[in-house]
Chains A and B, each alone.
Chain A
Amino acid sequence: MLFDHYDPLKKEMFGVLDKDGKITNKDFEPDIDDDTLVHMYKTMVLARIADVKALQYQRQGRMLTFAPVQGQEACQIGPMAASAKSDWLVPAFREAAAMLYKGVSLKQAYLYWFGNERGSRYDDDVNVMPINVPIGSQVNHAAGIAYAAKLKKSGEAVITYIGDGGTSHGEFHEGVNFGAVYSVPMVTIIQNNQYAISTPRELATKAKTLAQKASSYGIPGIQVDGNDVLAMYEATKVALERAKNGDGPTLIEAVTYRLGPHTTSDDPSIYRKETEVEEWREKDPITRFKKYLSNRKLWNKDKEEKLQEETKKFVTNTFKEVEKTGQYGVDDVYDYNYETMPDDLKAQKEAYLAYLKESEGE
Chain B
Amino acid sequence: MAKLTLLGAINNALDQQLEKDKNVVVYGEDAGFEGGVFRVTKGLQKKHGKDRVFDTPISEAAILGSAVGMAANGLRPIPEIQFSGFMFPGYNQIAVHIARMRNRSRGKYPMPIVVRMPYGGGVRALEHHSESLETLFAHIPGLKLVIPATPYDAKGLLTAAIKDNDPVIYFEPKKIYRAFKQEVPEEEYEVPIGKARIVKEGSDLTVVSWGAMLHETQKAIKDLGDDYSIELIDLRTIAPMDTKTVIESVKKTGRFMVVHEAVKTLGIGSELISRVNEGAFFHLEAQPTRVTAPDITVPLPKGEHHHIVDAKRIAHEIKKLAHFE
Contacts and interface: CB of A to CB of B under 8 A. Distances in A.
Interface of A: 64-65, 112, 114-117, 131, 133-136, 165-166, 168-171, 196-199, 203-205, 265-266, 270-271, 325-328, 330, 332-334, 337, 344-345, 348-349, 352, 355, 358-359, 362
A355 B299 contact: no
A65 B126 contact: yes
Given A65-B125, A168-B58, 18 more contacts: A65-B126, A115-B302, A115-B304, A133-B126, A135-B58, A196-B29, A197-B37, A198-B55, A199-B33, A199-B57, A203-B57, A265-B37, A326-B302, A327-B303, A333-B306, A334-B296, A348-B295, A362-B316
Interface in B50-64: 55, 57-59, 61-62
B128 interface: yes
B158 to A, nearest CB: 23
Given A133-B126, A198-B30, A348-B264, A333 B57 contact: no
B125 A165 contact: no
A332 B301 CA distance: 12
A349 B294 contact: yes
A64 B296 CA distance: 22
A123 B89 CA distance: 31
B300 interface: yes
A271 B302 contact: no
A359 B291 CA distance: 15
Contact of A199 (B29, B61, B124, B294): B29
Interface in B296-321: 296-297, 299-307, 312-313, 315-316
B180 interface: no
Contacts of B306: 330, 333, 352
Contacts of B55: 198-199, 203
7 contacts: A135-B58, A136-B58, A169-B89, A198-B30, A266-B37, A270-B34, A352-B294
B127 interface: yes
Given A197-B37, A333-B306, A64 B30 contact: no
B316 A359 contact: yes
Interface residues of B, number: 38
Contacts of B29: 196-197, 199
B127 A205 contact: no
Contact of B58 (A65, A204, A271): A204
A134 B128 contact: yes
Contacts of A333: 296, 299, 303, 306-307
Contacts of B34: 197-198, 270-271
Given A198-B30, A352-B306, A359 B312 contact: yes
Contacts of B88: 134
A131 to B, nearest CB: 8
Given A134-B86, A199-B30, A327-B305, A169 B294 contact: no
A117 B126 CA distance: 11
A358 B316 contact: yes
Contacts of A196: 29-30, 58
A254 B29 CA distance: 23
Interface string B19-30: 000000000011
Contacts of A326: 302
B89 A362 contact: no
Interface in B248-276: 264
B57 A205 contact: yes
A116 B126 contact: no
Interface in B74-90: 85-86, 88-89
A65 B83 CA distance: 15
B302 A328 contact: yes
A265 B313 CA distance: 30
A135 B29 CA distance: 12
Nearest to B54: A203
B57 A165 contact: yes
A8 B47 CA distance: 39
Contacts of B315: 362
A288 to B, nearest CB: 30
